[in-house]
Amino acid sequence: MARQQSQLNRSTSHELTPVASCRDRGRQSFIFHAKRHLGQFARLSLSRQFEYPANPLPSEDPQDTDTGVIGTHVRTGHAQPEQSSAFAAWSALNIGSQQQMWRALNDMLVHQAPVLAQRAETLAARAAPGSLELSPDLEMPAYFLQTAYHGQPGGYCLDRGGDDWHAGALQEAGGNLYSRGAGTGARDSKGQAVVRFLGETFPEFAPDKVIDLGCGYGGQTSNYAAGFPDAEIHGVDLGASLLRYAHLRAKSLGLKIHFRQACASDTRFPDASFDLVVSNILLHEIPQTMLDGVMRESFRLLKPGGLVVHQDVPTQRPGTPEFQRWLSNWQVAHNDEPFWQSFSETSVPQALTDAGFSKTDIFERYQPQIDGPLVWYMVGARKQ
């Protein structure tokens, strides 16, 4: 079966893409630049606090013990960056920029709600190549209901009833602005990175059936549909509003994708029904017990010879700089990312082995972004 490099990426627009007004563009530009500069400040200045031993040395200039990060004579030990006023300012501005981001994007969507609702209605009436299966009685895990991930208003579980798809629109817009602020280009795509990884690592592999676990608004699922045009593509997520949006979005792009509301650890598909199981940045957003369940489900769903690939943030790199690990903890403390740290401390290969995969069939790689400076963590296995 064919494998194609898709053109779908963070700049892809469709009928539910909001049009930013002059005011929206101004607010988003402010947030984009704030995030870029805060990121640079963290990398170039704040990180220097980690270059010194844990025991603080006496400062040559007492005035500098607090400001900490500027100049080469910093004497703050790496164990106490939180005590520096530079850290406090960076942290406050970072939290503020994230709150501003959600406010600006939410306002943009709310201001044009009537136009977007009209477009959604037109789309809903159009015949779909794919499908949407919601389960209103599905029991939601407590962590999912309790977390407003990285500050997204209402969290991924936000569902205002009826045909609501607001959470999906917010997730797409937020993901795009956040990642651009983090330095990633508009042509990036995590799904494409996985398709590229598969092409480089398993060039002979051609899946007939693919499932994307924790597919959210369906942006990456679209890349599997475009990357494997002959395959049957499925996406599952817990969020009903995310999936309504994903379904309309796929319709607008003319993609045949089947979306189902289900837990990634219990998808209700038969055993051995997929050739490829994938997830994109799901693992760092779930607790350890759920991660173990997702690995067991990945094993159960795969046909013999099938592949599972989970793509996520690269905090599991051996030799990850201490500063990077400290930033992960900051996400837990200040950005409503309760599982980022536990994920960093988890051995996914061990979880895959516990789920039934053979040790010798497990792989871990660091794959460059399609359009950005970062690498992604790719971990997975082939089922014998």
Ligand X SMILES: C[S@@+](CC[C@H](N)C(=O)[O-])C[C@H]1O[C@@H](n2cnc3c(N)ncnc32)[C@H](O)[C@@H]1O
Q: How far is the CB of 64 from ligand X (least distance, A)?
A: 40
Region of 10-18, 67-75, 107-115, 236-244 interacting with ligand X (CB under 6 A) = 236-244
Q: Which long-range contacts (CB under 8 A, 24 or more apart) does 117-122 make?
A: 119/15, 119/16, 120/16, 120/163, 120/165, 120/248, 122/15
For 223-249, b/e burial (b = at least 16 CB within 10 A) is bbbbbbeebbbbbbbbbbbbbbbbbbb
Among positions 16, 238, 307, 348, the unique one binding ligand X when judged by CB under 6 A: 238
Outline where the chain has alpha helix (H): 22-44, 64-67, 85-111, 113-125, 142-146, 166-181, 190-201, 219-227, 240-252, 288-301, 322-334, 340-344, 348-355
* Residues facing 365 on adjacent strands: 378
Q: How far is the CB of 273 from ligand X (least distance, A)?
A: 17
> Segment 149-168, which members bind ligand X (CB under 6 A)?
156
The residue count for binding ligand X (CB under 6 A) is: 24
Q: How far is the CB of 213 from ligand X (least distance, A)?
A: 6
226 lines the binding site for ligand X (CB under 6 A): no
One-letter amino acid for residue 214 of the chain: G
Binding map of ligand X across residues 269-308, x = CB under 6 A, - = no contact: -----------xxx--xx---x------------------
Give, in order, the Cα–Cα distances in Å from 286 to each of 77, 147, 151, 154, 243.
32, 10, 16, 17, 19
> Segment 42-101, which members bind ligand X (CB under 6 A)?
none
Nearer to ligand X, 159 or 237 (CB): 237
The residues, any chain, with a CB within 8 Å of residue 201's CB and separated by 6 or more, are 363, 365
> Segment 190-209, which members bind ligand X (CB under 6 A)?
190
Region of 84-92, 94-102, 226-234, 238-246 interacting with ligand X (CB under 6 A) = 238-246
188 lines the binding site for ligand X (CB under 6 A): no
Q: How far is the CB of 267 from ligand X (least distance, A)?
A: 9
Q: How far is the CB of 362 from ligand X (least distance, A)?
A: 22
344 lines the binding site for ligand X (CB under 6 A): no
Q: Measure the CA–CA gap between 337 and 283, rounded to whole angstroms.
A: 11
263 lines the binding site for ligand X (CB under 6 A): yes
194: nearest Cα among 317, 282, 291: 282
- 213 phi, psi to nearest 5 deg: -90, 130
Nearer to ligand X, 35 or 310 (CB): 310
Q: How far is the CB of 281 from ligand X (least distance, A)?
A: 4
123 lines the binding site for ligand X (CB under 6 A): no
Which two three-digit tokens encode residue 366? 């660091």
Q: How far is the CB of 52 from ligand X (least distance, A)?
A: 34
* Numbers of helices and strands, H then E, in the chain: 13, 8
Among positions 220, 252, 315, 316, the unique one binding ligand X when judged by CB under 6 A: 220
Q: Measure the CA–CA gap between 303 and 136, rounded to whole angstroms.
A: 30
Among positions 102, 144, 228, 274, the unique one binding ligand X when judged by CB under 6 A: 144
Q: Measure the CA–CA gap between 179 and 285, rounded to whole angstroms.
A: 17
CB of 159 within 8 A of CB of 241?
yes
Torsion, CA 172, CA 178, CA 182, CA 185, rounded to 10: 40
The residues, any chain, with a CB within 8 Å of residue 134's CB and separated by 6 or more, are 240, 243, 244, 261
Region of 45-53, 56-64, 215-223, 359-367 interacting with ligand X (CB under 6 A) = 215-223
Q: How far is the CB of 379 from ligand X (least distance, A)?
A: 15
Among positions 188, 237, 297, 337, the unique one binding ligand X when judged by CB under 6 A: 237
Nearer to ligand X, 250 or 286 (CB): 286
219 lines the binding site for ligand X (CB under 6 A): yes
Among positions 8, 215, 231, 327, the unique one binding ligand X when judged by CB under 6 A: 215
Helix, strand, or coil (residue 59)? coil
Q: How far is the CB of 220 from ligand X (least distance, A)?
A: 5
Q: Measure the CA–CA gap between 79 and 259, rounded to whole angstroms.
A: 46
Instruction: Summarize as ranges the residues that interact with ligand X (CB under 6 A).
Output: 141, 144, 156, 175, 190, 214-216, 219-220, 236-239, 242, 263-265, 280-282, 285-286, 290
